[in-house]
A and B are shown apart, each in its own frame.
Chain A
Amino acid sequence: MGTIRYIFRRLGYGLILMVGVVVLNFLLIHAAPGDPAEVIAGEMGGITEQMMADIRARYGLDRPLPVQLGIYLANIARFDLGMSYYFDRPVSQLIGQRIWPTVLLVLTAQVIAIFLGVVMGVLASRRPNGPFSGFVSVFSTVGYAAPVFWTGLMLIILFSVIVPMFPVEGMSSARFRGGGFAYALNVAHHLVLPATTLAIIFLAQYARLSRASMIEVLGADYVRTARAKGLGEGPVIFRHALRNAVLPILTVAGIQFGNLISGALLVETVFNWPGMGRLAFDSVLRRDYPTLLGVLFCASGVVVLANLVTDLSYRLADPRIRTGGR
């Protein structure tokens, strides 16, 4: 199958998944106890009769359910995610601002986790019973078991009370007035702790996985062949073994994107990072359902896209799939 055709098929499938998310959102609004109009307005009081009437008209709440679903879908197809009555702004505008900090955080954490995880796994696989290998096993169990928000809080204690090196709140300094490169540095400085916190859970899993996968691959016939023809350790590991061992890590990295977003939600709350997770948390406190459901919709979209990218990189890394080996 051609790569282009494959991309289109996957995009179409992603679109179906997104419609599913919208239908689910719609069902949730109607399944929640109380009048849907009140659910959409949020329990914040001070809503006038006029506003309620507007909501009813806008969502067609006096029409039959299937028609309401149609209106809801049509609104979202136009990127109209409704109105946040708490922030008094369209939800799509709110999310448009908040999505990039989350993407930055999630991608940075993912890159750190994959890179360090693979390095640790490769080093550990050299001596499967050595001390470093033992350390990786213990570290991966520990990193997995620590609640991510707690790890973040522990890092805050460490880096603000004991060794003040990194800022522990927000995305840039409040009085920062520089532009361009200086601003990027400022953001990067603020990014260190949240990204490290988020990376730790996944780093643990990747290290464990790449260790197991490398041990298996290093025992394979083609590695023995490579060694037999006199290749040095470097080429054997990096050119022959790692390329195969990295495939399961790519698969898992793709599956983990949903969990990464869940983790980001907690990390953003801990570090006051102005992303979608923080927005979701604030909208829960304010019972601002359009915003909360909008965040759910967009976060699912990010996961769908991430899965697509993973699939494509998988095709690049494994020529057997590209040439239609199925």
Chain B
Amino acid sequence: MAKTDTIPEAVSPLREAWGQFLKNRPAVFGLALLSVIVGLVLYGHFLHDADPYDIVWMPLTPPGDEAGIWFGTDFLGRDMMTGLLKGGGPTLLVGLSAALITVVIGILMGALAGYFGGWVDDLLMRLTEFFQVLPALLFAMVLVTLFSPSLWTVAFAIGIVSWPQTARLTRAEFLRIRELEYVTAARSIGAGNGRIIARVILPNALPPLIVSATLTIGVAILFEAGLSFLGLGDPNTMSWGLMIGQNRNYILDAWWPVTLPGLAIFLTVFAVSLVGDGLNDAFNPKLRSR
């Protein structure tokens, strides 16, 4: 080996965090579980392709009673397995886009408030408090009822009620970082406000924001499931929450049409939060002992 190899190679913080993440068993399990779920949702139609609205057998056939209908049928006799595979798509899509909307609004509000301070901060923080007072699900219900219940309205409604927490977190990070020397240095070489916000502070504020964004995906999935359960999702797409809502009146006769989609939601959010916790530990070495 060459002598230069004795000098330890510099490891980028991201790579170091990734290394830490891989040592965290629950987090790796969560990532694996999430990959399986996303894989089934994206490519499940190669295993079993059918219309989730097709009636295939007697209503409320228990799982395993009939060959080929391994997960039973719902109250109309539709195949639960098809529903489970097809119903994940809208749930994940809405969850992801809602989380994206949340993060974009939250970072924008928080960055402006934290960076400029003064009246901008006051104004934006009052706005944040206002949205925290509104009961989120109720407000989303109002939005979806007044406007059409499409996938995008639902995603938008979830995003518009969920951003305050991200905004507070971003603001706190910006307040802390804007006082640091490298920000002063950037300003002294003539960087403008926009450049400092987007290129200097934001990258350094990212780790906690990535963790929070991950957890936001979980919250958004639960939100979408709740709205669909109430029958406020897109009426033309099968989703896990909708399956639970439609079958809940038959719960005393049949457990599976309600239990299985709920289990799917639960496992997805569980996996997402394991990954989020893992990222949190990886980015914050100080917290690792907890």
Chain A positions near chain B (C-beta within 8 angstroms): 17, 20-21, 24, 28-29, 31-33, 39, 128, 141-142, 144-150, 153-154, 156-157, 160-161, 212, 215, 255, 258-259, 261-263, 265-266, 269-270, 277, 280-281, 284-285, 287, 289, 292-293, 295-296, 299-300, 303-304, 307
Q: Once the chains bind, are B145 and A145 in contact (CB under 8 Å)? A: no
Q: Once the chains bind, are A307 and B262 in contact (CB under 8 Å)? A: no
Q: Which residues, 30 to 49 on B, are CB-close (under 8 Å) to A?
A: none
Q: Once the chains bind, are A281 and B134 in contact (CB under 8 Å)? A: no
- Distance (Å) between the CB of B142 and the closest chain A CB? 6
Task: Verify if B229 is at the interface (C-beta below 8 Å from A).
Answer: yes
A32, A258, A280: the one contacting B146 at CB < 8 Å is A32
**Given A147-B244, A157-B259, A261-B138, list of 17 further CB < 8 A pairs?**
A17-B129, A29-B146, A32-B147, A128-B289, A144-B218, A145-B266, A147-B225, A147-B265, A149-B225, A149-B244, A156-B251, A161-B252, A255-B132, A265-B141, A266-B226, A299-B135, A300-B135
Q: Once the chains bind, are A258 and B265 in contact (CB under 8 Å)? A: no
A17, A156, A292: the one contacting B133 at CB < 8 Å is A17
- Distance (Å) between the CB of A162 and the closest chain B CB? 10
Query: Assuming A141-B270, A296-B142, is B135 touching A284 (CB within 8 A)?
Result: no
* Residues of chain B contacted by A277 (CB below 8 angstroms): 138
Complex A-B: 24 CB contacts under 8 Å: A28-B143, A141-B277, A142-B266, A146-B262, A147-B229, A147-B244, A147-B265, A147-B269, A150-B244, A153-B258, A153-B259, A161-B255, A258-B133, A258-B135, A258-B136, A262-B136, A262-B226, A269-B229, A280-B138, A289-B146, A292-B145, A295-B138, A296-B142, A300-B134
Q: Once the chains bind, are B137 and A266 in contact (CB under 8 Å)? A: yes
* Residues of chain B contacted by A300 (CB below 8 angstroms): 133-135
Q: Is the interface of A mostly helix, strand, loop or mixed?
A: helix
Give the docked Cα–Cα distance between A214 and B133 (Å).
Answer: 29
Q: Once the chains bind, are B230 and A307 in contact (CB under 8 Å)? A: no
Task: Verify if B274 is at the interface (C-beta below 8 Å from A).
Answer: yes
Q: Once the chains bind, are B251 and A150 in contact (CB under 8 Å)? A: no
Closest to B134 in A: A300
- Distance (Å) between the CB of A95 and the closest chain B CB? 13
- Distance (Å) between the CB of B264 and the closest chain A CB? 10
Closest to B223 in A: A262
* Residues of chain B contacted by A160 (CB below 8 angstroms): 252
Closest to B271 in A: A145
Interface string of B13-40 (1 = CB under 8 A from A): 0000000000000000000000000000
Interface string of B134-159 (1 = CB under 8 A from A): 11111101110111000000000000
Q: Once the chains bind, are B133 and A150 in contact (CB under 8 Å)? A: no
Closest to B222 in A: A147
- Distance (Å) between the CB of A29 and the closest chain B CB? 8
| Residue among A144, A160, A212, A215 with max Cβ neighbours from chain B (10 Å) | A144
Interface string of B102-145 (1 = CB under 8 A from A): 00000000000000000000000000011011111111011101
* Residues of chain A contacted by B248 (CB below 8 angstroms): 153, 270
B137, B142, B270: the one contacting A262 at CB < 8 Å is B137
Q: Which residues, 242 to 257 on B, are CB-close (under 8 Å) to A?
A: 244, 248, 251-252, 255
